[in-house]
Amino acid sequence: MQPSGILALHKPRGMTSHDCVARIRRLYQTKKVGHTGTLDPEVDGVLPICIGKATKVAEYMSDFDKTYVGEVTIGYSTTTEDAHGEVVNQKLVDREITENEIRKQLKEFTGEIKQTPPYYSAVKVNGKRLYEYARAGIEVIRPTRQVKIYSLDFLGDVYTEPGLRSFTFQATCSKGTYIRL
């Protein structure tokens, strides 16, 4: 009897969503395995994996809203627009940032917004993933899409390091929203 069902997999950092699918295929000795949405390799989180007959519902599960918890660091930007790229610009923060300032800024990002995915993303353009173009040093026009941020909440204290400020947040958003962590 072939295995069938939905596995709530905690994807560790360092693995792609496809790596997870490949491992599950080997573990359950079946080719009918798929995931319901891509998580970046440097992100850990829950990745629903559909096995066997459950792969028929994967497309419907992908349409659900998503919730992410992450951290923002103010004071520099990177090539990959996340914490894992090379620093390309730095502007040291020389003042305190208040919780009220953060809450006000987060509110500006809620609702329907237009979003352009980062170059280092799995979004496909002309059959290739954007990160493939980025790694090859090729610039392409990235698609802008309409997404919805239902809530963007400040979760805690503002942490202070020399020249940097950081804080944690929780975002609930529509399918297709790109959140870099």
The residues that are catalytic are 40
The answer to whether the CB of 17 falls within 8 A of the CB of 35 is yes
The answer to whether the CB of 135 falls within 8 A of the CB of 110 is no
Closest CA to 110 of 170, 161, 69: 170
The answer to whether the CB of 29 falls within 8 A of the CB of 73 is no
> How far is residue 112 from each of residues 39, 62, 78, 108, 162, measured CA to CA in Å?
22, 19, 26, 10, 35
**39 burial via Cβ count (<10 Å: 0-12, 13-18, 19+):** buried
